[in-house]
Chains A and B, each alone.
Chain A
């Protein structure tokens, strides 16, 4: 059912959204932080170029939404990359070295799994000065567990394959084996999981905004916009519907993309 067409469509939409987010603010005469107390919660109109209307401080929602998309995508991608790096390194080492070391490392993963992630996140956010970088790190630090497990499993099975045996027998160093033989075979599954971790990261960022711990004003993210929008439901429904729809769209596209890639990856391996 899911095939190349899905990958292309989902990928295409994502690219279109990202492009709009990059170009959009340039096209509008409004600044994302410019307040205007006389035009609070104006509904969308072409008249004064408030394509998406204004928010409760009179700021243009089109520009803010575009910026929000940028921030959301940025956070999600960077956070996923952080968890990718940590997870792959951790999982590959555990899987490759095996034995006691593997057992201890996986025990640590189990421990961290048992700690509810909100706990980590909240404490990290409250303990340190709120800055952009920290949000990525916090989110990345939570999500690497799954990646580590998957990579470890994959590495374990790869380790037993003939070509690795062969390499070892011929005296190739461990490091080289990992980098030249194991790593390339991990790429497929890693890519799939990265596209699946991104939606998770986006939802975590939205949840942080819900708790009031997300990006700093006057910056915004899709999650933050949705949260403000919830309070304005009924009064200015577009302030909720537009970012919520975009958020759902972005999440769906990443999910479909991940699914499609995984199907393609599985199909390749089956043959």
Chain B
């Protein structure tokens, strides 16, 4: 188990390296720079800015400079947010994204698995059809349509929930963003669980358990849930990526200063270091989470471990 883990960790390093190189090239390939905006600067000022941020150096020199900083753990200064470092910006934004994402993921798992299990147990009935129908809708309506409608209804018209983020404290301000973000994932997980649960429930060992007189709840909980969860578990990787992506829209609409929002802004502002920093951050996150998922898979399914 340990060897497996270590191997995977080492294997991730060249992946990350490739990601960094690709991202660096792409970011510099885009036209425009961090200091261009509607006020075109006089030549002398522009030259000073470029010199201050080493943008007048050849590309490979800039890359080496970036890499040596990276190896020391320094993600560099933000080009747009002058006087702030990339680590600071990401550090300030990250907790918001994490809370949002983790809550959304937890909500999605709990609701999705429950809904899918219920649908599977009541396969073919009206309950099943309703659950599946609702989850289908959840996948089909884009986030940026659902979110404004929810805000209009719950915040503006009913005043039940806050419309915004800053200046508020507590859990209430999370409710709408988390629900919005979780909805598509609830749908996917419900469908996956349902299909997988139906398959597992049809297996012999379940029939055996039932024949032994165990109640449905026990059967599900003790015998069926674990194997049924395997496809859901392998979906976790893409699910996390989807939540990271979806969080961009949700963060924009609710004004949550998270990493997703920061990423779009910095791509538009051509804040090279911040974009790169976020890409590296995302990539590391996804790679590590995939690793965790793999390990969990190994824990749950012994067949995988002894490969």
> A and B: direct contact (Cβ < 8 Å)?
yes
- Listed in ascending order, the chain A residues whose CB lies under 8 Å from chain B are 1, 107-108, 110-111, 113-120, 122-123, 126-127, 199, 203, 206-207, 210-211, 223, 226-227, 230, 233-234, 240, 244, 247-249, 251-252, 255-256
Residues of chain B contacted by A256 (CB below 8 angstroms)? 136
10 pairs across A/B with beta carbons < 8 Å? Answer: A110-B287, A114-B19, A114-B286, A116-B244, A122-B264, A123-B30, A230-B145, A247-B142, A252-B137, A255-B139
Residues of chain A contacted by B283 (CB below 8 angstroms)? 114-115
**Contact string against A for B residues 235-267, beta-carbon threshold 8 Å, 1 for contact and 0 otherwise:** 000000100110011000000000000011001
Residues of chain B contacted by A230 (CB below 8 angstroms)? 144-145, 148
A119 and B15: CB pair below 8 A? no
Q: Which of B31, B139, B145, B279 contacts A119 (CB 8 A)?
A: B279
A123-B136 contact given A210-B144, A210-B249, CB 8 Å threshold: no
B279 and A116: CB pair below 8 A? yes
Q: Does B123 contact A (CB under 8 A)?
A: yes
Shortest distance in angstroms between A226's beta carbon and chain B's nearest beta carbon? Answer: 6
Q: Does B14 contact A (CB under 8 A)?
A: yes
For the complex, count residues of B whose C-beta is within 8 A of A. Answer: 44
User: Which residue of B124, B140, B248, B249 has the most chain A CB atoms within 10 A of its CB atom?
Assistant: B140
Q: How far is the CA of A233 from the CA of B146 in the complex (A)?
A: 12
Q: Which of A114, A123, A211 contacts B287 (CB 8 A)?
A: A114
Q: Does B225 contact A (CB under 8 A)?
A: no
User: In the complex, given contacts A123-B26, A251-B140, what are 15 additional A-B residue pairs having Cβ atoms less than 8 angstroms apart?
Assistant: A107-B11, A114-B287, A116-B279, A118-B263, A119-B267, A120-B26, A123-B29, A126-B267, A126-B268, A127-B31, A210-B144, A247-B145, A252-B139, A252-B140, A255-B136
Q: How far is the CA of A252 from the CA of B144 in the complex (A)?
A: 17
A248-B140 contact given A113-B286, A115-B283, A118-B248, CB 8 Å threshold: yes
Shortest distance in angstroms between B28's beta carbon and chain A's nearest beta carbon? Answer: 10
Q: Does B35 contact A (CB under 8 A)?
A: no
Shortest distance in angstroms between A69's beta carbon and chain B's nearest beta carbon? Answer: 15
Q: Which of B14, B15, B142 contacts A207 (CB 8 A)?
A: B142
